Amino acid sequence: MQHIRTAASKLNGCKLKYNAPLAATLDALDRTLQLGSREETVALVAILDRQCAGNNSDLDDLSNYFNCSALDVMSLVPALNTLTQRGFITVENRSECLLTRKEFKLCPDVFYAIIEGRKVQPVPPAGDDRLDRFEFCQAVHKLIEERDNGNIETAKLFIQAAALEDEYADMPLVRGLRGRIADIADRTLFYEMCVDFTNDSDGGHSDLGSTLGDIYDRILSRVRQKLLITRDEHPLQQAGLAELRNEDELHLTDEGIRLLLGEAAQAFIRNAGGLDRYAFLVEVDKLVDDLPRQPMPVQLRRAFRQIQKLEKANPQLEELAKLAALLPDVHDRTLFYLILKELLDGDTYYVRQLRYLYAKQEELQVQRSLKDGRHPLQQLGLVEMTKGGLFEDSSLVPTEKGKELYLGEDADLFADSVEDSALILPEKIACKPLFFDPALQQQLTLLTGSLEEARYAALRARLQAQHLPTGVTALLYGHPGTGKTESVMQLARATGRAVMHVDISATKTCWFGESEKLIKQVFDRYRRLCQKSRTMPILLFNEADAVFSRRKDVGSSSVAQTENAIQNIILEEMETLDGILIATTNLADNLDRAFERRFLFKIRFDKPTVESKTRIWRSKLPALAEADARALALQYDFSGGEIDNIVRKATMEEVISGNAPTPDTLARLCEHEKLEHASASARRIGFRP
């Protein structure tokens, strides 16, 4: 200590010039502490002197201590390095890259040994003096601060950052980043993001504007980098290490966090694996719901990347792999997920919601493909569109095939209800007696008998064995009101079959190409219904002349083209039908010949005979005498439907007047049943000359 006090008093302000007494003191200290040179002794004494006053020492501090120039004090750098390597001194700010900014102090065991007069036994550092990954990033951050303070230029910043990388080339962080990102400028930005992430002062993100301002000294360079990032084209984004959120927040991705933290990254990464099929849809919906109402393309791309990560994190969901094989585009899969999510919530996904999933130009393209039926979800039969008043009000719903693909055995829980308005169950068909002449009744009995379940199953088996079509098709044609539709209902009731009634008007729409899709959907729904039903249902086209009429000249109009396309679809479906199709029409003469050949049964309904009409009158009005019923049947050439109308009006009069209908009352009502068709000459229009 005496030698140190003596040396310190003479070294302070000596300008690194040593007289003979000072040199002798320094040599004595060198021998006592077993140092290697006079420069090491000088540096150690100066650092100890300042440390006793509670100060660390950088080169600038030592320059002031010795009252010499910065260049003069640089001569002590080799001695400082040796003292550090031997364990006499340590660098306090290890992440500081600039030599002039490194702060030195005595190692604690050396400091206290000298102060307490004990033998000094320095312990060389056990290799832990090297920077760890966080200190490395902090070292780069220090360089960026120097650039921001104007002490170095951006080019020098990148040179020094690259030199630091060379020194730590074996560090996993450096090695991994160099393998993915070629440019040191981009890697420097990543290191700065890592510092912001670990500091967590701004929620773990880097402010885009200020971070680029710290790194780049030229405005043009900042603008170019910002443009790349906002376009999602920056190398860090392309490598999946960084992402932009909320326009100005630059975040490390999960992959970026893994590169920085290694195995410890799991503590910072939300576990998105192990989801069931329903929780997966919820997570996808959250990712899309977090987007702003007018999302930027970069935000959409980030959301789609996150959905892809979510898919990869859940390999146990086999339905995801099936979907990826069918729909390689994540945009299409995401739309399907959202449509299914609405189904699970009991809601409907509308076309107008596409604006929240696509940029405007992409939204219009998707709308067009949906409108034309060209969207992959439609072409694969996974989704169908139902028209609203406006196109944006149209809804997208999963088909039964789509439900089964994703929901598997749970698809039945979300199947279309069999109580659908287009589906008539046999138990809901009221029993109604029908009266036909013997020839017609015989044909109806044959058709009904063929469709009784036991006979129908045998018929199908026989047809299959003979390689013949198994579908049963029947055309009921003739005068209106003669019982065609009611015959189908009573046949369905007798054979225990549901009736899927096709609304002809619903298959015709003003949207070009939409009618064809609707007809296809009719047969698709019927096939699904057949698969789910124990007893084969009946597909009924009532008043089918609207779509079964003669085909028109394709050059006449676009409407003619559409109607011909519809008929071609129906003809093809009838060729391969594995079910029961019955059509009714009042206008058999308008029926296209191609349809005529495809109907197995063709049953004509003429106006009822006198005997049949008599029985109809008596069945409707049991109190009516046989003779009166026959007189009405002879006098009025009515169909069964027209007789129904008269009976209904007679019942209304009975309710109002309280008097039962008489033959005269019925005759009066009959007189008014037919519309009067006066000849054109019987009436004059305008003034008489």
> Is residue 162 in some structural domain?
yes
pLDDT for 599 beyond 50:
yes
Looking up residue 89, the CATH number of its domain turns out to be: 1.10.10
> Is residue 122 in some structural domain?
no
Q: Decide which of 605, 634, 650 is a domain's last residue.
A: 605
> Is residue 682 in some structural domain?
no
Burial 526-538 (b: 16+ CB within 10 A, else e): bbbbbeeeebbbb
Question: C-alpha angle with apex 253: 250 to 254, nearest 5 degrees?
Answer: 155
Number of separate domains in the chain: 5
Residue 18: exposure state from Cβ atoms within 10 A (0-12, 13-18, ≥19): middle
pLDDT for 680 beyond 50:
no
Look up residue 78 and give its amino acid. P
In order of 97, 283, 509, 533, 563, the CA distances from 554 in angstroms are 82, 50, 18, 39, 9
Count of residues making up the chain: 689
The whole-angstrom separation of Cα 153 and Cα 142 is: 13
Q: Output the pLDDT for position 683.
A: 41
Report the C-alpha dihedral over residues 93, 98, 101, 103, rounded to 10 degrees: 40
Stretch 650-667: mean pLDDT: 86
Q: Which of 125, 76, 123 is nearest to 102 (CA)?
A: 76
Q: Which of 456, 487, 468, 687 is nearest to 582 (CA)?
A: 487
Question: Are 555 and 429 part of one and the same domain?
Answer: yes
Position with higher pLDDT, 559 vs 616: 616
Question: Are 385 and 311 part of one and the same domain?
Answer: yes
670, 624 Cβ separation under 8 angstroms: no
Model confidence at 129, pLDDT cuts 50, 70, 90, reads low
Question: Are 307 and 254 part of one and the same domain?
Answer: no
The structure tokens listed for 447 are 């058709």
DSSP label at residue 291: S
Hey, what long-range contacts does 516-525 have (CB within 8 A, 24 or more apart)? 516/373, 516/562, 516/565, 516/566, 516/569, 517/373, 517/378, 517/384, 517/385, 519/547, 519/566, 519/569, 519/570, 520/569, 521/384, 523/569, 523/573, 524/381, 524/399, 525/400, 525/416, 525/500
User: Among residues of the chain, what percentage have pLDDT more than 70?
Assistant: 91
Q: Which of 579, 574, 565, 569 is nearest to 599 (CA)?
A: 574
The structure tokens listed for 334 are 């995401």
35, 41 Cβ separation under 8 angstroms: yes
Q: Output the pLDDT for position 382.
A: 92
Helices (H), 131-207: 133-148, 154-167, 172-180, 184-199
The whole-angstrom separation of Cα 548 and Cα 544 is: 6
Sorted by sequence, the CB contacts under 8 Å of residue 183 that are 6+ apart come out as 235
Question: Are 300 and 167 part of one and the same domain?
Answer: no
Looking up residue 595, the CATH number of its domain turns out to be: 3.40.50.300
Q: Is 618 left (phi over 0), alpha (psi -120 to 50) or beta?
A: alpha
Sorted by sequence, the CB contacts under 8 Å of residue 467 that are 6+ apart come out as none
Determine which helix (DSSP H) or strand (DSSP E) holds 250, and give its type and residue range.
strand 249-252
Number of helices followed by number of strands (H, E) in the chain: 33, 14
Question: Are 368 and 457 part of one and the same domain?
Answer: no
Average pLDDT, whole number, for the chain?
A: 85
Determine which helix (DSSP H) or strand (DSSP E) holds 605, and give its type and residue range.
strand 601-605
Look up residue 127 and give its amino acid. G
Sign of the Cα torsion 252, 254, 259, 264 reads: positive
The structure tokens listed for 679 are 């000849």
pLDDT for 621 beyond 80:
yes
Position with higher pLDDT, 219 vs 413: 219
Q: How does strand 538-541 pair with strand 499-502?
A: parallel
> Is residue 86 in some structural domain?
yes
Q: Output the pLDDT for position 420.
A: 52
> Is residue 234 in some structural domain?
yes
pLDDT for 684 beyond 50:
no
Question: Are 250 and 351 part of one and the same domain?
Answer: no
SS3 274: coil
Q: Work out the end-to-end distance of the chain between its first and last CA atoms, rounded to an integer number of angstroms.
A: 147
Position with higher pLDDT, 84 vs 555: 84
The whole-angstrom separation of Cα 385 and Cα 393 is: 10
Q: Output the pLDDT for position 217.
A: 93
Burial 258-284 (b: 16+ CB within 10 A, else e): bbbbeeebeeeeeebeebebeebbebb
The whole-angstrom separation of Cα 637 and Cα 54 is: 124
Residue 255: exposure state from Cβ atoms within 10 A (0-12, 13-18, ≥19): middle
Question: Are 431 and 486 part of one and the same domain?
Answer: yes
Domain that holds residue 58: 2-115
The whole-angstrom separation of Cα 617 and Cα 643 is: 7
pLDDT for 672 beyond 70:
yes
Q: Which of 503, 511, 289 is nearest to 385 (CA)?
A: 511
Look up residue 401 and give its amino acid. K
Q: Output the pLDDT for position 269.
A: 73
Q: Output the pLDDT for position 315.
A: 92
Selection from 257-266, 438-447, 514-523 with the highest mean pLDDT: 438-447
> Is residue 555 in some structural domain?
yes
Sorted by sequence, the CB contacts under 8 Å of residue 562 that are 6+ apart come out as 512, 513, 515, 516
> Is residue 205 in some structural domain?
yes
pLDDT for 417 beyond 60:
no
Q: Decide which of 571, 605, 639 is a domain's last residue.
A: 605
Residue 523: exposure state from Cβ atoms within 10 A (0-12, 13-18, ≥19): buried
pLDDT for 209 beyond 50:
yes
For 44-79, write each residue's pLDDT tens digit: 999 999 999 999 999 999 999 999 998 899 999 999
pTM: 0.46
pLDDT for 679 beyond 60:
no
Sorted by sequence, the CB contacts under 8 Å of residue 611 that are 6+ apart come out as 437, 633
The structure tokens listed for 215 are 């790194």
Hey, what long-range contacts does 624-627 have (CB within 8 A, 24 or more apart)? 624/663, 624/666
Distance of CA 410 to the CA centre of its chain: 20
pLDDT for 225 beyond 90:
yes
Specify the residue for token string 């064995």: 465
For 432-464, write each residue's pLDDT tens digit: 888 888 889 999 999 999 999 889 988 888 888
The whole-angstrom separation of Cα 164 and Cα 296 is: 38
The count of other CB atoms within 10 Å of the CB of residue 123 is 11
Question: Are 457 and 438 part of one and the same domain?
Answer: yes
Q: Which of 11-25, 117-131, 268-282, 471-485 has the lowest mean pLDDT?
A: 117-131
pLDDT for 15 beyond 80:
yes
User: Among residues of the chain, what percentage have pLDDT more than 90?
Assistant: 36
Question: Are 511 and 449 part of one and the same domain?
Answer: yes
pLDDT for 230 beyond 50:
yes
Q: Decide which of 605, 632, 649 is a domain's last residue.
A: 605
133, 172 Cβ separation under 8 angstroms: yes
Residues facing 502 on adjacent strands? 541
Question: Are 103 and 155 part of one and the same domain?
Answer: no
pLDDT for 117 beyond 90:
no
Q: Which of 1, 4, 9, 72 is nearest to 44 (CA)?
A: 4
Determine which helix (DSSP H) or strand (DSSP E) holds 585, and give its type and residue range.
strand 580-585
> Is residue 566 in some structural domain?
yes
Question: Are 358 and 387 part of one and the same domain?
Answer: yes
Question: Are 429 and 569 part of one and the same domain?
Answer: yes
Q: Output the pLDDT for position 490.
A: 93
pLDDT for 171 beyond 80:
yes
279, 317 Cβ separation under 8 angstroms: no
Stretch 422-430: mean pLDDT: 85
For 307-356, write each residue's pLDDT tens digit: 998 999 899 999 999 999 999 999 999 999 999 999 888 888 988 899 88
Look up residue 478 and give its amino acid. G
